[in-house]
Structure 1
Amino acid sequence: MPTIAVASPKGGAGKSTTAVILATQLAHAGVPVTLLDCDPNRSVSLWASRGQRPERIKVIADVSESTIIKTIKENDRDGHIVVVDLEGVASRLMSRAISQADLVLTPMRATTLDATVGSRTVALIQEEEEALGRPIPLSVVFTMTKTVKSKQHSGIAASLRGQGVHVIEPDLLERAAFSSLFEFGGDLYTMPPQGNADAARNNAEQFAKAVMKRLMEGLNNE
């Protein structure tokens, strides 16, 4: 059972949206998912309380620093994936979750501020790698991006890659359907169509496939 931690020390970077899109796409593809809501804002729990939750997704809230590792291990089942939506600050809870992760996703918008703050996640992962004596795969995912990338966006992505940081392709674009998940609940296939629903579904599907490819590459290299 792989564990994917969605971590960024900056609020508003799209962590919960990334976690819900990934979890619902995996569930739609037939993969059972346990989604841990570790963010005090409880965005994932809000999503889960609205509409009909996909049947293959279990949501666990009120996970604390003292229970995070136990909760992850208790949901260690063959064929399942645990997705952890972490709080938007660097904390002991975040570091404990990262220590159990097979992949860390760091969402960020294509701004200098997000890139600067997001670099703290890289440093935190390096600390955990030293303590554990094993690599922890990391990928950045750009969120809320436009269809046509700005020069700033392309420059930040190139800088990250130049530092050896993996960047998920495609980005999660700015789509009405993505933000509406927290209004209607459910997934992109069951909620009322919002904006260009087909484009949003395709973006989410390709994103989830890219994440799974990155995850499997990391597991195969262990």
Structure 2
Amino acid sequence: MPTIVIASPKGGAGKSTAAVLLGTELAHEGVPVTMLDCDPNRSLTLWASQSALPDNVTVLSDITEADIVRTIKAHDADGQIVVVDLEGVASRLVSRAISQADLVLTPMRATTLDATIGARALQLIAEEEEALDRAIPHAVVFTMTKAIRSKQHKGIESSLAGQGVDVIDPPLMERAAFSGLFAFGGDLHSMPAQGNMQAARDNARAFAIQVYKRLAGEG
């Protein structure tokens, strides 16, 4: 089954949040998910330590450059999805993970700085595509967005579309429940209420559906 790699050279872009939301929403729908924590900040490991993991979710920590490919292949079993949360730098580990991906997601805030640095992730993907002589499906997801999109957001989105970059809609909004996951653990269906929980669940589910459609070739 597919491997989804969450990659951005910029710290604070929302990689771990996207990984947890995606993994837990897929698991909530009955899909077994293995999540690999490859980030030195160990955000997934912190999340996993707060409470019992949701059903169908396994988290593996301290994955290194030496064992990233082997670990992905060991857990890329039928009926299972692997979600890889990477460090916020351009590194050999990141490149090796991208080489194994069925889909690469690049989270970014709707700012010029994030878009500029996020473009480096797209370049890394292009380099791996050239080295492997195969296309690696990839998409951008905006994170921590506001209900009303700014001119800057619209401009960045338009620029990406003009370059032929796939942008997932809906973006992940700025929600108390999303940040609360790392304080309470669990998922949006089990954690204590933080803000508008139904809106958060709807946002996360719609995001997960769009990712799944891309895995199925429907994006």
Please confirm whether the aligned pair reaches a TM-score higher than 0.5, indicating the same fold: yes
CA distance in 2: counterparts of 1:110 and 1:215, whole angstroms: 24
> What is the one-letter code of the residue matched to 1:176?
A
Give the secondary structure class of the aligned counterpart of 1:173: coil
1:181-220 equivalences in 2 (<5 Å): 181-217=181-217
> What is the one-letter code of the residue matched to 2:117?
V
Partner of 1:10: 10
Where does structure 1 differ by over 2 angstroms across 4 or more consecutive aligned residues? none
1:155-194 equivalences in 2 (<5 Å): 155-194=155-194
Note the alpha carbon deviations across 1:164-194, whole angstroms, 9 max, x for none.
Answer: 1000000000000000000000000000010
Partner of 1:59: 59
Note the alpha carbon deviations across 1:68-108, whole angstroms, 9 max, x for none.
Answer: 00000000210100000000000000000000000000000
Instruction: Indicate the percent of aligned positions where both proteins have the same amino acid.
Output: 68
Gaps spanning 5+ residues in structure 2: where?
Answer: none
Matched, 1:40 2:40: yes
Partner of 1:107: 107
CA distance in 2: counterparts of 1:2 and 1:215, whole angstroms: 7
Q: CA RMSD in A?
A: 1.0
Partner of 2:91: 91
Note the alpha carbon deviations across 1:188-210, whole angstroms, 9 max, x for none.
Answer: 00000100000000000000000
Deviation of the 1:216 alpha carbon: 1.3
CA distance in 1: counterparts of 2:3 and 2:76, whole angstroms: 9
Q: Please report the TM-score for the alignment, with normalisation by the length of structure 1.
A: 0.97
Indicate if the aligned counterparts of 2:28 and 2:55 stay in contact, CA closer than 8 A.
no
Give the secondary structure class of the aligned counterpart of 1:144: coil
Note the alpha carbon deviations across 1:140-186, whole angstroms, 9 max, x for none.
Answer: 00000001101110110010010010000000000000000000000
Partner of 1:139: 139
CA distance in 2: counterparts of 1:111 and 1:120, whole angstroms: 15
Q: Please report the TM-score for the alignment, with normalisation by the length of structure 2.
A: 0.99
Gaps spanning 5+ residues in structure 1: where?
Answer: none
CA distance in 1: counterparts of 2:152 and 2:24, whole angstroms: 31
Note the alpha carbon deviations across 1:14-59, whole angstroms, 9 max, x for none.
Answer: 0000000000000001000000000000000000001221120010
CA distance in 2: counterparts of 1:188 and 1:76, whole angstroms: 26
CA distance in 1: counterparts of 2:76 and 2:189, whole angstroms: 28
> What is the one-letter code of the residue matched to 1:179?
S
Partner of 2:20: 20
Deviation of the 1:13 alpha carbon: 0.2
Give the secondary structure class of the aligned counterpart of 1:166: coil
